[in-house]
Amino acid sequence: MARRWNKFKSRPEYGHLYGTSPDLILNCAIRSRPYGQGLRLYPFEANRSLLDLYGSRASLSMADLRAGIDVARGARRWSTEFTLDFIGNLIGWGVHLGILLETQDPAGSPVWTLRSREMRYGVLGGRAVQVRDLEPEAQARIERKLRAQAKLNATLDARHSEKVAPEIRQLLADIVLADTGARIPEGWGVYVPADIREQWPRIGDAMGILVDLHRDWDRGLQARWVERVREERRDALVRAAVRKEETEALEAQILADDDAFATLGDL
């Protein structure tokens, strides 16, 4: 679930970044870690984001960080300056949390190496905790807790899946009823695999698959999927209303033209 900003707390100000060199932005963020303090899940989120940033690479240099803007930004409409600050913040947290090892290359420039491609942090009891590279006794204890949580989550996910299934089915049916030719939106690409979108590009054609697509997902992903389908239903109803208005306007114009021609015939 996306984090909502506390309206009573002032938002961070990033105006100072503009006009600043990329290396200075990165270095300042790496050293100060401006974002993430006090957020219970941030170590886990930073760990996951770092794995995405590194991809198949083991180490990143300063030049690699500058070149990683598109990977870090993704589809988000972030400025270059903010994205560099975001990357530097991640690197700083990676070193602080033991996810990254900072060394130097032969020229004396910093290099950050990923210690492991396994997640070092997980989530237990609603907060991020270290789940790898612990002392044997602590490791065994945390693994028992993780197994118990995974079992509970699987049960809760399955119950939630059953709960939202009728709504998903009805929403999809409403979309197809409102817009028979509605195609699977680009924004559903996160949820609907590419091969399904290619083989059955229209929602009506893929209905049998789409209604059960959420069955093996966690509750958070299920909730985001339901919201995307709700949004598309709203859009489909708007498209249907616009088409109805256009059709009624055209029919009214045809009737007016017919009346005009009839009047001419009486002259």
Q: Report yes or no: 26 and 88 within 8 Å, Cβ to Cβ.
A: yes
Q: Between vectors from CA 236 to CA 232 and to CA 242, what angle results, nearest 5°?
A: 145
Residues 26 and 82 both lie in one domain: yes
**Is residue 65 domain-resident?**
yes
Q: What is the predicted pLDDT for the residue at 77?
A: 85
pLDDT (tens digit per residue) in 168-214: 999 999 999 999 999 999 989 989 999 999 999 999 999 999 999 99
Residue 88: CB partners within 8 Å, gap ≥ 6? 25, 26, 27, 28, 29, 30, 65
Q: What is the mean pLDDT of residues 130-143?
A: 96
Q: What is the predicted pLDDT for the residue at 257?
A: 63
Residue type for position 60: L
Residues 29 and 85 both lie in one domain: yes
Please say if the pLDDT value at position 1 is more than 50.
no
Backbone angles phi, psi at 181, to 5 degrees: -95, 15
Residues 257 and 189 both lie in one domain: yes
Q: What is the predicted pLDDT for the residue at 9?
A: 44
Residues 55 and 100 both lie in one domain: yes
Q: What is the predicted pLDDT for the residue at 20?
A: 85
Given 111, 133, 155, the domain boundary residue is 133
**Is residue 185 domain-resident?**
yes
Domain count, the chain: 2
**Is residue 238 domain-resident?**
yes
Residues 123 and 191 both lie in one domain: no
**Is residue 149 domain-resident?**
no
Q: What is the predicted pLDDT for the residue at 262?
A: 66
**Is residue 20 domain-resident?**
yes
Q: What is the predicted pLDDT for the residue at 251?
A: 72
Helices 42-54 & 80-96 angle (0-180, nearest 10): 110
Q: What is the predicted pLDDT for the residue at 11?
A: 47
Given 133, 150, 173, the domain boundary residue is 133
Residues 115 and 172 both lie in one domain: no
Residue 65 sits in a domain of what CATH number? 1.20.120
Residues 168 and 253 both lie in one domain: yes
**Is residue 10 domain-resident?**
no
Residues 21 and 112 both lie in one domain: yes
Residues 167 and 107 both lie in one domain: no
Reported pTM: 0.65
pLDDT (tens digit per residue) in 147-170: 999 999 999 999 999 999 999 999
CA distances from 193 to 164, 190, 200, 209 (A): 20, 8, 11, 11
Three-class SS of the chain: CCCCCCCCCCCCCCHHHCCCCHHHHHHHHHHHCCCCCCCCCHHHHHHHHHHHHHCCCCEEEHHHHHHCHHHHHCCCCCCHHHHHHHHHHHHHHHHHCCCEEEEECCCCCEEEEECCCCCCEEEECCEEEECCCCCHHHHHHHHHHHHHHHHHHHHHHHHHHHHHHHHHHHHHHHHHHHCCCCECCHHHHHCCCHHHHHHCCECCCCHHHHCCCCCCCCHHHHHHHHHHHHHHHHHHHHHHHHHHHHHHHHHHHHHHHHHHHHHHHHC
Q: What is the predicted pLDDT for the residue at 5?
A: 45
Q: What is the mean pLDDT of residues 47-71?
A: 94
- Residue 244: pLDDT band (50, 70, 90) is confident
Given 83, 118, 133, the domain boundary residue is 133
**Is residue 213 domain-resident?**
yes
Q: What percentage of residues in the chain have a pLDDT greater than 70?
A: 90
Please say if the pLDDT value at position 265 is more than 80.
no
Q: How far apart are CA 248 and CA 259, in angstroms?
A: 16
Q: Report yes or no: 182 and 203 within 8 Å, Cβ to Cβ.
A: yes
- Residue 75: pLDDT band (50, 70, 90) is confident
**Is residue 154 domain-resident?**
no
Residues 127 and 168 both lie in one domain: no
Backbone angles phi, psi at 63, to 5 degrees: -65, -40
Residues 117 and 173 both lie in one domain: no
Residues 124 and 172 both lie in one domain: no
Give the structural domain span for 202: 163-266
